[in-house]
Amino acid sequence: MQKHFLLTAAVAALCATSTVAATTLRVHQDADIRSTDPGVNRDGNTDGVVLHMVEGLVGYDAKGQPQPLLAERIEVSDDGLAYTFHLREGVKFHNGKPLTADDVLWSWNRFMDPKTGWRCLSDFDGRVRLKVEEVTAPDAKTVVFRINHPDPLFLSSLARNDCGMTAITHRDSLKADGTWDKPIGTGPFKLGEWRQREYISLVRNDDYASLPGGPDGYVGSKRPLVDEVRFVVISDPATAKTALASGAIDLMSKVPYSEMSELQNHADIATTVSPQLSPTTFPLQTRDKLLSNTKLRQAIAAALDYKQLVDGVTYGLAEPNNSLVPSESPFFGEAQARGFQHDPARVRKLLAEAGYKGEKIVISTNRRNQPNYDAAVIAHAMLQQAGINADIEVLEWGAQQDKWQKGNYQMMSFSYSSRMDPSLSFEGVMGPKDTQPRKVWDDAESLELLTQSMRETDPAQRQKMFDDLHARMLEQVPLIPIFNTLATGAYRKNVSGFESSVFGTPQLWEVSKKD
């Protein structure tokens, strides 16, 4: 029997775009975007803007699970090797042309051309794990992907934000010479004007075919309720906060944790907080002369008071999470809720068993990411109090990235980017250090378990594997996750419908503004 992924209502029930007064929603952007080409020359800011203009066959719901978007229905063959996407009726590109299977093939072939420079090419061409063997279009509304082995992460990989949601764009997105011009997508907004280092203007797509129901991440209802969304580039957080307080901008999606309390007390401003799917952590170099000793790593983990640490870093906004499985994930359960325990007596015992003689342990951090710096400072004090001779090394962000890439550190305060599936969360830190020195955990049995989780399609079996991996991590301590990074936003009270999300980027459909 084939598996089916269905939309929640008939295409005929698609919601029409609401008519609202002409309005511009001005949104803080802390840096300019890098391009408008989805999944190409991108960063987090770029993704956050571009995904208002383009869409893929699937997208993430509010929990980070892949759901149909431009596909109305998805069928998976019994052997797990063929995915058949049935396209929705009534979807048009920004140029008025209807969405067809030919557009899907054209977009896919462009992504798979190495000259395009797609961020996720290696995730689908067989170099990493999965290989898409063939993509065909039996008719104008049907597309079939054939892959080389069953893979529970296939749809999740297609939906990834950093892949540009594997967006379906019209060939008019290219100039006559074949180079990128602008995104002619199917999203709720169209590109208006991009004044580099000043603002990016998106205008409402009056012909947008929204899904029924309420908002649900990158799927669900995505009606554009303002005429223009203008992302205003302001690099200094203090200047941005002043602009929000004065009404020069309407919304900030990235507010420093330390500023939230003040904004919460402002009469004209409301705030919103959501745990993201990205972990803030302390990686430990298991090949370091000192930290190769498991008991010493266990002592470091037991020396930290996680509630006090996380309260200090996030100003009481977050709860500790010692799991690489995000607290918002459907796979976060009783096993993941069991974490490291603050135990000074156990620290003393473990240090004695490790033969620790007071050697220095350096925590590398940076000031660009304030929570990383704050976490390092607080952890340093806790380790010192526990009898561990810790020191702090403050680096420029690029220098810390270089050390992380090379594995050239003892202990580090570091945040990983969001991963929507626990297998990908673990894969972000696990791997062979001989060939990938940035990896922090290379235990052979644990790596095999990770590989199995990437092949297993039964959610119950995958849950057991994630539970086992979490228990192994607590025992071996290759890193110490401390909490899920927060999305902290603030907006003027004449704005309605905005909430921070697990993705950390603003989602500005279904958001309205009163003058």
Same domain? 164 vs 312: no
- State how far the Cα of 514 lies from the Cα of 250, in Å rounded to an integer: 11
Same domain? 352 vs 219: no
Same domain? 505 vs 421: no
259 in a domain, yes or no? no
State residue 44's pLDDT score: 87
Q: Are 511 and 202 in contact (CB under 8 A)?
A: no
Helices within 4-77 (DSSP H only): 44-50
- 473: domain CATH number is 3.10.105.10
- 166: domain CATH number is 3.40.190.10
Long-range CB contacts (< 8 A, 24+ apart) of 8-13?
Answer: 8/211, 8/212, 8/213, 9/212, 9/213, 11/72, 11/88, 11/89, 11/90, 13/212
Same domain? 368 vs 417: yes
Same domain? 350 vs 230: no
Same domain? 403 vs 509: no
445 in a domain, yes or no? yes
470 in a domain, yes or no? yes
329 in a domain, yes or no? yes
Q: Where in the sequence is the domain holding 69, given as residue range(s)?
A: 24-250+494-513
Closest CA to 74 of 122, 144, 138: 144
Residue 473: HSE in the Cβ half-sphere, 13 Å Cα cutoff: 32
Mean pLDDT by 10 residues, the chain (515 residues): 45 37 90 96 93 98 94 96 98 98 98 96 91 98 97 94 96 97 98 97 98 95 98 95 97 95 95 93 97 98 98 97 93 97 98 98 94 97 98 94 95 90 92 94 97 92 98 98 96 97 93 94
Helix (H, G, I), strand (E, B) or coil at 163: helix
Same domain? 240 vs 387: no
Closest CA to 515 of 19, 22, 18: 22
Same domain? 176 vs 301: no
pTM given for the model: 0.86
363 in a domain, yes or no? yes
Number of domains, the chain: 2
Categorise residue 468: left if φ over 0, alpha if ψ from -120 to 50, beta otherwise: alpha
State residue 18's pLDDT score: 41
Same domain? 505 vs 469: no
State residue 63's pLDDT score: 87
List the structure tokens of 221: 């209802």
263 in a domain, yes or no? no
415 in a domain, yes or no? yes
202 in a domain, yes or no? yes
Same domain? 71 vs 209: yes
Same domain? 207 vs 74: yes
Same domain? 183 vs 324: no
